[in-house]
Amino acid sequence: MKLGSHVSVSGKGLLAAAKEAIKYHSDTFMIYTGAPQNTKRRKVEDMFIEEGKKLMKEHGIEDFIVHAPYIINLASPKEDTFQMSVDFLREEIVRTEAMGSKYIVIHPGAHVGTGEEKGLERIIEGLNEAISKDQTVSIALEMMAGKGSELNYRFEHAARIIEKVKIPEKLSICFDTCHTHDAGYDIVNNFDGVMEEFDKIIGLDRLQIFHINGSLNPMGSKKDRHANIGATEDNPKGRDHIGLEAIKYIVHHEVAKGKPCLLETPWLDKKTNLYKEEISLLRG
């Protein structure tokens, strides 16, 4: 079991991220190479990569994951947004390789009114433009909640993208517990059945990363609002509709063995080392 969380590269880049992960007693971690809401990025030479790797090695952390910014929308019908997304994804792949990560997670995109059929074709087009046969990084398509017009909230969406992309070996899947719950998959009562369905439609060999989050909403709500693990109504961030036992079952499951399981739960206040607490809770 590899447990970690999102951490910050603010300040000394990968070194700062590794220090934060160690503070939470993590086995792995996830970073954005810069702010997730924009394209401003430092040069990789200024990211303290070797210092970060050295500290990771000293503390037995073998890997980390990069998450692409939210502004990437490969399904966009707007040509300028689409091209920016393709170009920036290419740049992020290069940065991910330079920093030494094997995976970059992306939200594939939202069709913003053109319909799912055209949106999926647009994502396929964008990935075919962005992917290089020589890249060492796998693009992990994140399973989404289906909020608004966002795509990849059904296993069939991901299967179609993988089938149509010219170099499918460069694609993998990131399974988000909040998203899949909100999309209508019963991971609380039938996680084994969900995994059987995933295997049948996509293939478990593609499943390489887990985002571990509670959900503030009932199954099938398509809302995508993360909750703290096992939170109850008296928690300022509200009740978790997935629950501690279901999340523990997932992170201890055979399909998660050896794969990064990364918390993206809400941060309640600066006095609470919440990721450390949740990681300890899930280790049991």
Tell me: is residue 226 an annotated ligand-binding position: yes
Tell me: is residue 176 an annotated ligand-binding position: yes
Tell me: is residue 111 an annotated ligand-binding position: no
C-alpha 261/C-alpha 198 separation (Å) is: 18
CA distances from 139 to 92, 111, 131, 165, 207 (A): 10, 20, 9, 12, 12
Cα–Cα–Cα angle for 110, 115, 118, rounded to 5 degrees: 85
C-alpha 147/C-alpha 110 separation (Å) is: 9
Tell me: is residue 25 an annotated ligand-binding position: no
Tell me: is residue 264 an annotated ligand-binding position: yes
C-alpha 256/C-alpha 160 separation (Å) is: 24
Tell me: is residue 179 an annotated ligand-binding position: yes
- The residues pairing with 4 across neighbouring beta strands, listed in sequence order, are 28, 262
Tell me: is residue 129 an annotated ligand-binding position: no
Tell me: is residue 46 an annotated ligand-binding position: no
Helix count and strand count (H, E) for the chain: 9, 10
Cβ neighbors of 283 (< 8 A, separation 6 or more) are 1, 3
Tell me: is residue 277 an annotated ligand-binding position: no
C-alpha 207/C-alpha 191 separation (Å) is: 14
C-alpha 230/C-alpha 226 separation (Å) is: 11
What is the phi/psi pair of residue 274, to 5°?
-70, -40
Q: Which amino acid is at 139?
A: I
Number of other residues whose CB lies within 10 A of the CB of residue 267: 12
| Burial classification of residue 200, based on how many CB atoms lie within 10 Å of its CB (0-12 exposed, 13-18 middle, 19 or more buried) | exposed
Annotated binding site: 67, 107, 142, 176, 179, 211, 224, 226, 264
Which residues are known binding-site members for Zn(2+)?
67, 107, 142, 176, 179, 211, 224, 226, 264
